[in-house]
Structures are given as C-alpha cells and as structure tokens.
C-alpha cells in the first residue's frame, strides 16, 4: 500500500496519521473541505516531515470534484477520516450529519468502485457499542447508537459490510477509536477545536492556559472508583500508527474486519485532572456538575484483537498524552490561527 488517499487529512487524527504515513514513505493525497480544520495543519505536516502532501480542497459531497481527484491520481487504498463528529451538534442538525457522513461515504465508495480501489480503512468509533453491558469491550459486542452521530458510524459500518458482501474483493478495516487525546511531540500539530471544547482534555487544556475558568466534572455519582466517568484515552500518535498497521494488513486480503483501537485501560475524569496537573505543574480548578445526558459510566477496550492480528498496541502512557497536549497548547495558544 503505497499511494494513499486520506479524506479528512487536515483534521486532528488525519494530520497525525499523514505524518506517520509520510515517515513510512507512503505517497499521500489529502482531500478535505476544511470545514473543521485549517490549511496551516498541512504546512505543519510539511515542517515535521519535510514532505508536502498533495492537497485537494474538495467536499466529499461534491461528486464531480471528487471524481476529478480520482481521475488525476492513482490510489492503492483510502483512509477515510472525513466526517462531522460532535455528538451534541448531531442532535441539533441530524440531517447534516447523515448527509455529510453517510452520503460522503457513499460518494467515496462509488468512485472507489469505478476506479477499482477496494482497500479502505474507515474511522469508526467506540460509540457504536452504545452503553456496553460489560467492560472491557470486545469487537463482537452488540452495537447500538444513542445519538445521530453514532448512528452515522453504525450505518456506515453496515453499508461497508453490505459492500463487502456484494464483492469479496474489498478489504475493509473498521477502526473503532476509543478516546483520542494528546498531540504530536513536536507541538506543531494537535487538536484545534473551533468553539468551546466539548471533549474533556481540550477543555482541561484551555482551563490550564486560562481561556476557560474551570472544568465542570459531569457526574460524580457513577459506579466507578471515584464516582466520575471512566474512559480509554489513547495517544493520537499511537492511534495514527494503528492506521499504518491496518493498511499493511489490507494487503493480506483480510476481507472486512473491525478493530478496537484503545489502550485497554480506563481512567476517570479526576485521574485525568490529577495527571494533567502533576505532569504539567498546572492547576485545574473544577467543580462537580450533574451528569451530561447520554454519557455512560465506563468505557474501555479489549484491544487484544488489534495486537494479535495487526501487531499493534498502544505504547504511550497517560503522562505523555497530558504533556504533549500541554506542549501543543502552549506553543499554539490560539490553535492554528
């Protein structure tokens, strides 16, 4: 797998994955409409790697523009990150989420068929497990969705299964990410939320730098060791490397397979706060608030399938996730602006 189309390659996880791909001498073509990212991320990728990836500012919903990309370039595989990802927003504008995520994927797959590209790595999510009946979560657990965003992921997984059933020449990796955090150790690329962050670690980071006053801890009455929600936080660089392994696996013609990408370890909200404080020598003021609707108590992966079949495991500890987040925040107090 040498020539790779990366949709959403200017975004948070996409930019880190492109860096790892360029480090592996892959030829990368990025398609992104920059709806939730900045072109500056692409310049930073070049600074880190010394290589400028080819970039098309194209929306997956624009079929003719996407078709021109497929006519102009040759691909062995596609890594498909492009999508909208904010759970709360998806309940406000569900049709945009279905349109963007589902129709965008349909357009992409139609062109892949037309150009005989049948290797795909798809960004799925632990959200497809809904509220799991137990932990750690295995790939075989039942899937469900509790919000429109999650439903788009579930629908796309099913669409891709149908596609594979219709033509076994496809090789598809459904990567179910747990909670990606952290940033590249250079501090040059990282997560750059447009608005007030919805997710825990970007929020903590903005409290630490003084942009936000204090963290609201959503619920301290969960059945966990300290009452706060437990998640499987994974360093974005480890996650990025998982995509390289998934691409390598596709060349063995594995068919369609799902993989959990997590560390297999759960940390509570207060564990994250105290580790961030200790590692970065900062104070994170917080107060306990009510539970956030739709949140579950505990979510962490059984990531042994990825280890066994992809030869991948997360290596970087929570300390690095916190230190790298903080370095990115300090070096880029206003993100890419």
Nearest to 6 by CA among 192, 311, 243: 243
Shortest distance in whole angstroms from residue 25 CB to ligand WQD:
30
Strand partners, 337: none
Q: Is 323 in the site for ligand WQD (CB under 6 A)?
A: no
Residues 10, 16, 22: CA angle, nearest 5 degrees = 95
Q: Which one, 43 or 214, has the nearer CB to ligand WQD?
A: 214
Q: Which does 295 bind (CB under 5 to 8 A by kind): ligand NAD, ligand WQD, none?
A: ligand WQD
Q: Which of 94, 193, 218, 317 binds ligand WQD (CB under 6 A)?
A: 218
Strand partners, 137: 301
Q: Is 143 in the site for ligand WQD (CB under 6 A)?
A: no
Residues 181, 261: Cα–Cα separation, whole Å: 13
Residue 43 Cα distances to 47, 73, 126, 242, 307, angstroms: 6, 21, 31, 23, 33
Q: Which does 87 bind (CB under 5 to 8 A by kind): ligand WQD, ligand NAD, none?
A: ligand WQD
Q: Which one, 43 or 278, has the nearer CB to ligand NAD?
A: 43
Which single residue is written with the structure tokens 């504008």?
Answer: 93
Which tokens hold the place of 69?
A: 């990309």
DSSP of 264-328? S--EEHHHHHHHHHHHHT----EEEEPPPTT--SEE-B--HHHHHHH-------HHHHHHHHHHH
Which single residue is written with the structure tokens 């990282």?
Answer: 190
Q: Is 231 in the site for ligand WQD (CB under 6 A)?
A: yes
Site for ligand WQD in 258-277 (CB under 6 A): 269
Q: Which of these ranges, 89-97, 110-118, 195-203, 241-249, lies near ligand WQD under the rule CB under 6 A? A: 195-203
Q: Which of these ranges, 51-59, 193-201, 255-263, 324-332, lies near ligand WQD under the rule CB under 6 A? A: 193-201
- Closest residue to ligand NAD in the complex (CB): 11
Q: Is 89 in the site for ligand WQD (CB under 6 A)?
A: no
Q: Is 125 in the site for ligand WQD (CB under 6 A)?
A: yes
Residue 319: partners with Cβ closer than 8 Å, 6 or more residues away = 275, 279
Q: Which one, 227 or 292, has the nearer CB to ligand NAD?
A: 292
Residues 275, 57: Cα–Cα separation, whole Å: 39
Q: Which of 199, 248, 274, 304 binds ligand WQD (CB under 6 A)?
A: 199
Q: Is 327 in the site for ligand WQD (CB under 6 A)?
A: no
Q: Which does 229 bind (CB under 5 to 8 A by kind): ligand NAD, ligand WQD, none?
A: ligand WQD
How many residues can be counted in the chain?
337
Q: Which one, 22 or 258, has the nearer CB to ligand WQD?
A: 258
Q: Which residues bind ligand NAD (CB under 6 A)?
A: 8, 10-14, 31-37, 59-61, 81-85, 100, 104, 123, 125, 177, 180
300: annotated active-site residue: no
- Active-site residue (options: 12, 97, 129, 149): 149
Residue 182: partners with Cβ closer than 8 Å, 6 or more residues away = 190, 201, 235, 236, 237, 316, 320, 321, 322, 324, 325
Q: Which one, 11 or 197, has the nearer CB to ligand NAD?
A: 11
Active site residues: 149
Q: Which residues bind ligand WQD (CB under 6 A)?
A: 85, 87, 125, 127, 179, 198-200, 203, 215-218, 229, 231, 269, 292, 295
């Amino acid at each position: 797998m040498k020539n790779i189309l990366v949709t959403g390659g200017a975004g948070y996880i996409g930019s880190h994955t492109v860096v790892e791909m360029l480090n592996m001498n892959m030829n990368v073509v990025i398609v992104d409409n920059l709806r939730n990212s900045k072109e500056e991320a692409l310049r930073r990728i070049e600074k880190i790697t010394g290589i400028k990836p080819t970039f098309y500012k194209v929306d997956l919903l624009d079929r003719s523009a996407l078709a021109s990309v497929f006519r102009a370039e040759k691909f062995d595989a596609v890594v498909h990150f492009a999508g909208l990802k904010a759970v709360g927003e998806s309940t406000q504008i569900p049709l945009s989420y279905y349109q963007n995520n589902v129709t965008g994927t349909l357009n992409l797959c139609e062109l892949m068929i037309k150009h005989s590209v049948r290797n795909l790595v798809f960004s799925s999510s632990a959200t497809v497990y809904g509220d799991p009946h137990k932990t750690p979560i295995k790939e075989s657990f039942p899937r469900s969705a509790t919000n429109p965003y999650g439903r788009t992921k579930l629908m796309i997984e099913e669409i891709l299964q149908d596609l594979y059933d219709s033509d076994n020449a496809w090789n598809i990796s459904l990567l179910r990410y747990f909670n990606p955090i952290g940033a590249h150790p250079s501090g040059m690329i990282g997560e750059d939320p447009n608005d007030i962050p919805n997710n825990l670690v970007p929020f903590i980071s903005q409290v630490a730098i003084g942009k936000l006053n204090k963290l609201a801890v959503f619920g301290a009455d969960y059945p966990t060791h300290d009452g706060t929600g437990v998640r499987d936080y994974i360093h974005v660089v480890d996650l990025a490397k998982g995509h390289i392994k998934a691409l390598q696996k596709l060349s063995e013609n594995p068919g369609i397979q799902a993989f959990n990408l997590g560390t297999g370890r759960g940390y509570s909200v207060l564990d994250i706060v105290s580790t961030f404080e200790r590692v970065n020598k900062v104070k994170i003021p917080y107060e306990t608030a009510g539970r956030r609707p739709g949140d579950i108590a505990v979510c962490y992966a059984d990531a042994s399938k990825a280890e066994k079949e992809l030869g991948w495991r997360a290596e970087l500890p929570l300390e690095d996730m916190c230190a790298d987040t903080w370095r990115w925040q300090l070096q880029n107090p206003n993100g890419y602006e």
